[in-house]
């Protein structure tokens, strides 16, 4: 039987704080969602001034990245490239850039999804949060 690391509440808080700091540094209002490797919500933080819909989009991006074990932008690129049949894939619906998997010691342990600003900026915030795990 194999063993693998899992996200603890302390890990999640560290990721969330670093992601929030990145957003605040740029004066970006966003929603930050963190999920485990099964796509189950562990953290949701909606900053003041962000559109309410972002509280649905961020967790979807995170779940997509966790279950697919790749950034959610990959799915967006496939669809934009003409593979629209991928819209029917089960269990994932955050097919927009901004969901980033959390990989620790070679294991996929969860993902961060961010929504509220440009997609590349959402991903930047997610990656800044994840970087706090190794800092």
The predicted pLDDT at position 86 comes to: 84
Distance CA 56, CA 52 (A): 8
* Pick from 54, 7, 10: nearest CA to 35: 7
List the domains of the chain with CATH numbers: 9-131 (3.30.450.150)
pTM of the model: 0.96
SS (HEC) of the chain: CCCCCCCCHHHHHHHHHHHHHHHHHCCCCCEEEEEECCCCEEEEEECCCCCCCHHHHHHHHHHHHHHHCCCCHHHHHHHHCCCHHHHHCCCCCCCCCCEEEEEECCEEEEEEEEECCCHHHHHHHHHHHHHCCCC
The predicted pLDDT at position 129 comes to: 98
* Structure confidence by residue, pLDDT tens digits, 50-97: 999 999 999 999 999 999 999 999 999 999 999 999 889 898 899 999
């Amino acid at each position: 039987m194999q063993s693998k690391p899992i996200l603890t509440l302390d890990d999640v808080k560290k990721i969330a704080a670093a992601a929030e700091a990145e957003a605040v540094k740029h004066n970006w209002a966003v929603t930050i969602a963190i999920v485990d490797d099964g796509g189950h919500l562990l953290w949701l933080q909606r900053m003041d001034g962000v559109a309410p819909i972002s509280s649905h989009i961020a967790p979807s991006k995170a779940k997509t990245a966790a279950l697919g074990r790749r950034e959610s932008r990959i799915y967006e690129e496939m669809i934009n490239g003409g593979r629209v049949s991928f819209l029917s894939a089960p269990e994932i619906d955050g097919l927009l850039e901004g969901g980033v998997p959390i990989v620790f010691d070679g294991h996929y342990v969860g993902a961060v999804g961010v929504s509220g600003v440009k997609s590349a900026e959402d991903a930047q915030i997610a990656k800044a949060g994840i970087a706090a795990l190794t800092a």
